[in-house]
Amino acid sequence: MIQSIDYAALAVPLILTLLAGLVLVLDAFLPDRPGGGRLLGLVTLGGVLAALAVLAAQAVAGVERRTFCVPASLEGGRTLEGGRALAGGPALTGGLSGRVPGPVLASGSASASCSFVVDRFTLIFAALVLVAGAIVVLLSMGELAGGRIPVGEWYFLLLSTLVGAILLAASRDLIMLVVSLELVSLPVFALTALKRYDGRASEAALKLFLVSVVSTAIMLFGVSLLYGITGSVHLDRIAESYEAGRGLTFGGAAGAYTSTLDISFAGAASSPGSAVTTVAVVLVLAGFAFKIAAVPFHFWAGDVYQGAPIPVAALLSVISKAAGFAGLILILTTALPSQAGVWAPVVAVIAALTMTVGNVLAMRQRNAVRLLAWSSVAQSGYILAPLAVFANVVQRAHARVVVEHQVETAREAVLNVSRSVARPAVSLLPADAGPLVRATNVELSRTAGVAIGPVANASIAYLVFYAAMNLAAFAVVMLISRERQRNEVDDYRGLAFRSPGAALALAFSLICLAGLPPGLSGLFAKVVVFREIVDGGLGWLAVVMAVNTVIGLYYYIAWTAKLFTPLPGGESRTRSGPVVVAIGVAILITVVFSVAPQVVLSAVG
Amino acid sequence: MSWLLIALLAVPLIGAAVLLIAPALGRVSAYGIAVSGVTLAVAVAVAVAFDYGHPGRMQLQTNRPWIPGLDLRFHLGLDGISLPLAVLTALLTFLCFVYLARHRPEGGRQRALVFTLLVLEVGMIGTFLALDLLLFFVFFEVVLIPMYFVIAVWGGRDRRRAAVKFILYTLLGSAVLLLGLLAVWAQAGTLDMVDLAARHGSGIPRSAQIVAFLAIGVGLAVKTPMWPLHTWLPDAHTEAPTVGSVLLAGVLLKMGSYGFARIAIPVLPEGAAALAPWLGAFAVVGIVYGSLACLAQRDLKRMIAYSSVGHMGFVLLGFATLTPVGMNAALFGNVAHGLITGLLFFIAGAIKERYGTADMARLGGGMLRRLPYIGSLLTFACIASLGLPGLAGFWGEMLALLGAYKPAAVLSRPLFVTFMAVGGVGTALTAAYFLVMLSRVTHGRPIDTVPAGPLMASAEEVREFLGPDEPVEPVATGAAVEEAAEEAPTGDVPGGGRLVDVTVYELAAWVPLVALTILFGVWPKALLAVTTPAVQAIFGVTS
């Protein structure tokens, strides 16, 4: 079979890949002059902005693009009745790209499973990655000015990470997910280690490498189990076969399975809580927990962030983390919505632990980057929290649908009785019961698709807000690190008098991270998350998060207060154009998000 | 669409922004007076435009979507409950700026202080105008950071710790409050306070109401503050500069009690009914505890801070009765406390500025002889605060006790009559500590009977000359001071070495408060007529 490839869908990662090659070539052939590094930086920046422009054009066009598709007939020869195929559209798509669900289902490509999809979810993550990437490039220009780091390799690796992050958000099958996740991770080890002859950097790189390899291995194991159970690598088909399994328990289409794999695991698939599925889900969760530095796989964050060059730390805390969350959200809500009963409680506990441990560790830190590292661990906890109410939301949707159906059937029965008094109406209900259950199931998967939208959306929205404010904080830290090598929090004492602009920027982003006015973007981000949790009925998690907000405030406000503490004897400071631009852009975005958070919320939901 | 209310928020906000952008303004304090004066003028205009025929109705509303994704609307409005508080806020802020023109706190940076106070004013006024739960929360939070800096930068010796304690306590309260507000939203499906209040809690199951009332109540109680959540208050008040204390006591505490009147009780009546006995019990404990704590204080500012705990106890007791009388009492007590305690903190600040200390033992007696005007003003403020009939403090307490005598039908009457009795003991204790304080500070002999001349201004400076371990005894003072004064250059001493009685700026700041205290004392109907219809609307009583 010949596949037609939609290059328009692939445009953004293609541009970045070509750019990466171009940067390497330029680095090899450009004469070794001072200032050559800056040229490469500008080329990279230009390329990233061009990719962003293409992305904007795609977003404006508003068409959902898919490529690398496998027709339904090709996979396992599965015969599904129409209702099931219709319901099997990716649940997340239903929630995220509410604008175009009709054409997708009708176009016929719905029956085909695609590995690469550019929908709203992909666009948001790609935009986040590209904007954050541009800021990281600007920061890199400041970092590389020192001349100790090879420039060409740096930008090449950076661009590779960006490509991986964008591919990850667009991938809709397990293999592509794993491959692109590796593409995000691998260059980062090298980036960390590029600061040669630096003990801390080498240690950080080695730590990151080991952690990442272990987490990949764990995740691969989980992924292969998922494939084994369902016989499919496409996320939507995995979801389908789990739902079909549930249909089986309700006494539905038992004969739907023909593939040998499905038959051998039919027993496992038919009971949603089966042991193998649980193991697979937990392994996948653990693998991603490493990537996003969630407790209990968080311990690497402090050392790695501190040892790595600051732009890499920013990249780890925003781009790499966003990629990890994209993959996690994709697998959990697209492939395993029916297993929410298994993973949602685990996610709840991980979220609670992550925010608590992160905040408590951050309270004790004296180094600025280390403090930001633990604070970003804590923020991961907030991002995870909404996913934990997924099960409750699905359950409620289920209950609602069942009730609606019962009301409807009862009404119909009454109508029938009143219409035909002569006919014996007693047999009506039992005869209807089977179809009712099946219809309920189909309805459930559709309703759930709509209902889970907000849950994942809250996480995504928080991630976007967090990216902006965290980048702003890192940008200022980058600026200060150029004059203070050790970069202790105490070095920031009196910054407001030495360089008021930087101090105001840092104060604003820290207050945003704390989630207090005037840092409204942080406040609204927290409100979005709180709202989902309270709405989902997970009161204890909301209380844990409330307490954590206060703990977090303690160290953010302590740092902010240091900025405004007078310090006798100001000194000269070094300026760095690109870094100042980076601070300006990040702060501008944060301010826009503060005044009009609707920009993010409407883009996401 | 009402431009008046938007202007009320916009004027201080723009004033603060200009201060941030404009490089150098000549006289920052004059600028602060001007901006807050314009704000006060707008507030007066609002009060004039207010339709007193229907104070129970929301007026001058502005309702625009702000963040549809969060259901958040920019919904402002005023009724009889919020109008007095909004005007009081504008007035107190203006008076603070007037006071600042001459009496600057240590810590310099006048410009930053003016900026901070203007931002604070936006948050305070916004809280009283907001009619959307989330918008209310946003304004409620806006005040935290400026107040933190007011205490942490311009405060006393132990300011850093007090500021951190203040912000952590109140933020914990706010986080719980947010959970409660979101629980209401999850149950009722709307954030609009007018809409929610009109439903009188229908549509929210009883258990959910209790949980939400508990969360919202705890959040507001931290701010109010209610015993045993009050422990941040004495530190914050003691360390804050005068204007900080005035705004903290005069306005910030009111934001908590206003939340009870605006959100907790109207929106969640069944939750309120279930938890009102607890609220009443804590309120009464607060009254007695606050009075007893006052008796034990040595520091004047700390004593006034604890007296706030007692007075806010009366306000909470009024709310707990769930009757129009009690609610009226609470709202009246709110305003009266704002005026009187604001005045008390102004005077305490003035005393501290002159004597260099607010420790009663070191102040010695005889203030009426040394500083006759300040001494008499202090006497006036104290007897107003202890609830002398004919002054504003009386009505809030009296009506609260009256409300407790006849609580709402759902509440246990014997319990509330007990509360009333205990509260009555509290009023006696209040009188006791204020009178004890007056007898120690204003009456008696001044401690320094040394003849006039190169007289050192304050005991604090005396202490600096003597070293920290030596007691500041009247006998030692005379000799030591004269010795020290010969060595010290005379220019160092603020005020030229002699205690200065009240200044023009102080009088300008204080006289309005005195006048209003007397006005509301002899003519309480001026205020009650505005609040009563709004209160009756809350309880669904048609007048």
Residues 6+ apart with CB under 8 A from B462: B456, B472, B477, B480, B481, B484
DSSP A367: B
Question: How many angstroms separate the CA atoms of A494 and A567, rounded?
Answer: 5
Does the ipTM exceed 0.90?
A: no
Q: What angle do CA B295, B298, B302 make, to 5 degrees?
A: 85
- Length of chain B equals 543
**B474 and B344 in a common domain:** no
Rounded mean pLDDT, B38-66: 87
Q: Are residues B353 and B463 in the same domain?
A: no
Task: Confirm or reject contact between B172 and chain A (CB < 8 A).
Answer: yes
| Cis amide bond preceding B228, omega within 30 | yes
The verdict on A554 touching B (C-beta cutoff 8 Å) is yes
Measured between beta carbons, which residues in chain A are less than 8 angstroms from residue B172? Answer: 546-547, 550
B488 plus B413 within the same structural domain: no
What's the mean pLDDT in A166-195?
90
CA distance B150 to chain A (A): 12
Ranking A144-148, A235-239, B414-418, B477-481 by mean pLDDT, the lowest is: B477-481
Pairing mode, strands A113-118 and A65-70: antiparallel
Which region among A174-188, A383-397, A424-438, B24-38 has the lowest average model confidence (pLDDT)? Answer: A424-438
pLDDT, residue A424, reads 44
Domain extents in chain A: 7-394+441-604
Q: Is residue A136 over pLDDT 50? A: yes
Residue A414 CB burial class (10 angstroms; 0-12, 13-18, ≥19): exposed
Contacts with A518 from chain B: Cβ below 8 Å? 119, 142, 145
Cβ-contact B118, B36 below 8 angstroms: yes
Nearest partner of B434 among B502, B348, B511, B509, judged by Cα? B348
- Span A488-516, average pLDDT: 86
pLDDT value of residue A416: 61
Q: Above pLDDT 70, what percent of chain B?
A: 89
Ranges of H-type helices in A499-574: 500-514, 520-536, 539-563
Gap between the Cα atoms of B365 and A123, Å rounded: 75
Tell me which of B73, B149, B167 to substitute to probe the interface with A (most A C-beta atoms closer than 10 Å). Answer: B167
Give the pLDDT of residue A99. 36
Beta bridge partners of A116: A67, A171
Task: Find chain B residues with C-beta within 8 A of A558's C-beta.
Answer: 164
In A150-270, alpha helices (H)? 151-170, 174-193, 199-230, 235-249, 260-264, 266-270
pLDDT value of position B354: 83
Question: Do B218 and B299 fall within a single domain?
Answer: yes
**DSSP for B339-360?**
HHHHHHHHHHHHHHHHHS--BH
B429: pLDDT strictly greater than 70? yes
Alpha-carbon gap, residue B418 to A233, rounded angstroms = 72
What's the DSSP call for residue B450? P
Same domain assignment for residues B478 and B397: no
Co-location of B91 and B228 in the same domain: yes
Tens-place pLDDT, residues A278-311 = 899 899 998 888 888 888 888 888 888 988 888 9
Q: Which residue has the higher pLDDT, A424 or A473?
A: A473
Q: If you average pLDDT over residues B92-101, what whole number do you get?
A: 89
Residues B209 and B193: their CA atoms lie apart, in Å, by: 15
pLDDT confidence tier of residue B422, bands split at 50, 70 and 90: very high
Instruction: Say yes or no for a CB contact (<8 Å) between A602 and B176.
Output: no
Residue B164 to chain A, least CA–CA distance (Å)? 8
B491 and B367 inside one domain: no
> Cβ–Cβ of B69/A598 closer than 8 Å?
yes
| Best CA proximity match to A186, nearest among A170, A198, A168 | A168
Q: Are A527 and B68 inside 8 Å of each other by CB?
A: no
Amino acid letter, B434:
F
Shortest distance between the Cα of A448 and any Cα of chain B, in A, equals 19
Residue A59 and residue A52: Cα distance in Å, rounded? 10
- Contact between residue B270 and residue B206 where contact means Cβ atoms under 8 Å apart: yes
**For the segment A500-510, what is each residue's pLDDT rounded down to a tens digit?**
888 889 999 99
For residue A559, count CB atoms less than 10 angstroms from its CB and return exposed for 0-12, middle for 13-18, buried for 19 or more: buried
Q: At what angle do helices A428-481 and A500-514 cross, to 10 degrees?
A: 160
Task: Return all residues near B458 (Cβ < 8 A) that are at least 6 apart.
Answer: B354, B355, B356, B357
Are B367 and B463 found together in one domain?
no
- For chain A, the residue count is 605
Probe site for chain A from B132, B169, B179 (most A CB atoms < 10 A): B179
Let me know if residue B160 belongs to a domain: yes
Residue with the two structure tokens 């796989």: A297
Cβ–Cβ pairs < 8 A, chains A and B = 93
Q: Is A603 on the interface with B (CB under 8 A)?
A: no
Distance of CA A242 to the CA centre of its chain: 23
- d(CA B143, nearest CA chain A) in Å: 8
In eight-state DSSP terms, residue A337 is G
pLDDT-based confidence at B351, cuts 50/70/90? confident
Point out the least confidently predicted range of B25-29, B100-104, B379-383.
Answer: B25-29
A540 close contact with B: CB closer than 8 A: no
Q: Examine the domain organization and report whether B146 and B288 are in the same domain.
A: yes
pLDDT of residue A520: 86
Query: Is residue B512 located within the same domain as residue B492?
Result: no
pLDDT for position A78: 44
- Residue of higher predicted confidence among A441 and A26: A26
User: Is residue B450 in some structural domain?
Assistant: no
Asked if B305 and B344 sit in the same domain, the reply is: yes
**Structural domain of B471:** 459-497
B482 and B385 in a single domain? The answer is no
Q: Are A140 and A306 in contact (CB under 8 A)?
A: no
pTM for this predicted structure? 0.82
Distance CA B186, CA B246 (A): 37
Minimal-distance CA residue of chain B relative to A600: B69
The answer to whether position B389 is within a domain reads yes
Min Cα separation A523/chain B (Å): 8
Domain count, chain B: 2
